[in-house]
Chains A and B, each alone.
Chain A
């Protein structure tokens, strides 16, 4: 029995006899309805392109001011990192670390990994770290919380509007674009395909491993 033609649902452990799905098709588990496969058009090329864009956008989103408020003639602007530092200085370092990881470090690592992986696959360049990077990216998926942060900005703005005029900075537009890009990356990145390609690359270039 060739195990390639079979798949197992990760959430209900059903052994499924899968036909190779066409692009645009969605394959759900017949027993628990989990989305199993969703092949995308030009998955590697698009992921690579989005990752480059995301990596570039990461910097303006982090270093340009997001929102500014004015109170009693004083202006205060905030970036992602200044919130982390503010929490740190009032001795809330556990919270500060959590915010730093979920809104700055993990997004950066996640985008860098998807850039590295899709880049290597795009240029058919074997690398023995590809497997490790894929696993790291897989485990980071849940901890990249940019869109949650965006919602927090909205709620904070509504609260602050009551006490002071707001100024939206260029960083905010970069930040919104970054969220759109990360969403595009996760929808174009076809994990089963990536794993197949990595396995294939390792097979054709056995000396690299």
Chain B
């Protein structure tokens, strides 16, 4: 086995897009194979991730306090927040579906926000952490993010289908905030460079 060393310290850069290996001595700025820009680490990884994460933290508040969906029946509107919709599902006996929505709309975004914050803090303050474990946590965070779009797609289906004279469903302002949270956290995860966890070792 080759010495367990960071490739960067041995003078190698890996192209982010195509995985090509380039020697630092050659001082290339673009990848000879795919022409994308070469970086030792993702550029401004911590700053970008922090900015995106802070925005999603703030947007997570309106996403949860404003109604995400309003069911109007013959003039009478019934507004639901994300949590309200889940409680109603569980109350009406649809427990598995209620849990699914709970996981996708609350547990996943929240654990993403917390997990990404811990990752940023641990890199910034050079905490002594188990890099292997946190790299795996990062991988899980990056994988689960997209599943939060569940609620947004569901709204688009319901708004479309439930549109009768007298009965219809309208999306609320929380839908925009929630969609923004999902997208911003996805970008945050994409901009975070897990190799920073290993650089501190």
Contact = CB atoms under 8 A, between A and B. Distances in A.
Interface of A: 3, 6-8, 10-17, 30-34, 67-69, 71-72, 74, 76-78, 82-87, 90, 92, 94-96, 98-99, 102-103, 131, 134-135, 138-139, 142-143, 145, 148-149, 151-153, 155-156, 158-160, 162, 191-192, 195, 198-199
**8 A-B pairs with the lowest CB-CB distances in the bound complex, closest first:** A152-B153, A83-B156, A86-B160, A15-B7, A8-B14, A83-B160, A152-B154, A8-B7
Given A11-B139, A78-B160, A158-B94, A148 B149 contact: yes
Given A76-B161, A95-B176, A148-B150, A12 B171 contact: no
A8 B156 contact: no
Given A8-B12, A94-B179, A156 B157 contact: yes
B131 interface: yes
B47 interface: no
30 contacts: A3-B12, A8-B12, A11-B195, A12-B135, A31-B198, A32-B135, A67-B161, A69-B161, A78-B157, A78-B160, A82-B160, A83-B160, A87-B156, A87-B159, A87-B160, A90-B171, A92-B159, A95-B176, A131-B34, A134-B17, A135-B18, A138-B17, A145-B146, A151-B147, A151-B150, A152-B149, A152-B157, A153-B157, A160-B158, A192-B19
A52 to B, nearest CB: 25
A95 to B, nearest CB: 5
B78 interface: no
B21 A8 contact: yes
Contacts of B2: 6, 15-17
Given A8-B21, A95-B171, A199-B33, A31 B153 contact: no
A103 B179 CA distance: 14
Contacts of B10: 15
Interface stretch (B49-57, B115-123, B162-170): B162-170
A98 B152 contact: yes
Interface residues of B, number: 70
Contacts of B151: 152
B147 to A, nearest CB: 6
Interface of B: 1-2, 4-8, 10, 12, 14, 16-23, 33-36, 89, 92, 94, 97, 100-101, 104, 131-132, 135-136, 138-139, 146-147, 149-167, 170-171, 175-176, 179-180, 183, 186, 190, 194-195, 197-199
Contacts of B16: 10
Interface of A is mostly: helix
Contacts, number: 205
Contacts of B155: 87, 95
A156 B21 contact: no
Nearest to B175: A95
